[in-house]
Amino acid sequence: MTTMEPLVDILIEEPRWQDLGIERIADRAARATLDALGLGAEGFMISLLACSDARIAELNAGFRDKPQPTNVLSWPSEERGAVAAGGPPAALSPGAPEMPVELGDIAIACEICEREAAEQGKTLEDHVTHLIVHGILHLLGYDHVREGDARLMEAAEIGILAKLGVTDPYETNDATTA
């Protein structure tokens, strides 16, 4: 048996990500996402920047002209989105183990993730797992701009997260909104 190459190449700029175990969380989320979509993890590569709010605010300003922090950003290596709203994204085949298909880049910000998790009454690990799954789905061509695409993406997220033991992130808790 050969040694499994890492699926997620991670650059940790914010030390608190190390304490959370971002490598383990990202690898688990990536493998579950690709497996759920019938792709398998072999032959793919994802880059992840685990950064601060200040760093993601710079990226958000530079790429989206929104100079404020956000929880997660993603940059697919190529356009894979569905032509028709609610349709599946473009089919994808893995590369060879020594030459994996690069799906793209994701950046995730520490402070905003911590705040959101606390506000939503979730563990930080569950919230970060959701955001990484969300970012990977974007790399694979899923989106939430059009209504049909949003329903498809949300259903994929809920299913993947359920397999990871993470509760539905879209389920509202009336006790927290009262």
Domain segments of the chain as ranges? 8-84+97-164
What's the CATH code, domain 8-84+97-164? 3.40.390.30
- Of 115, 100, 124, 2, nearest in space to 47 by CA: 100
Binding residues: 134, 138, 144
State the Cα–Cα distance between residues 132 and 137, nearest whole angstrom. Answer: 9
Binding residues for Zn(2+): 134, 138, 144
Bridge partners (DSSP) listed for residue 11: 49
Which stretches in the chain have pLDDT values below 70?
1-6, 172-178
Q: Dig out the tokens for 105 from the structure.
A: 């880049």
Under 8 Å between Cβ of 107 and 49: yes
Task: Please tell me the predicted confidence (pLDDT) of residue 4.
Answer: 53
Q: Distance between alpha carbon 80 and the CA centroid of its chain, in Å? A: 16
Its sign, for the CA torsion 26, 162, 4, 104, is negative
Single pTM value for the model = 0.92
Task: Please tell me the predicted confidence (pLDDT) of residue 98.
Answer: 87
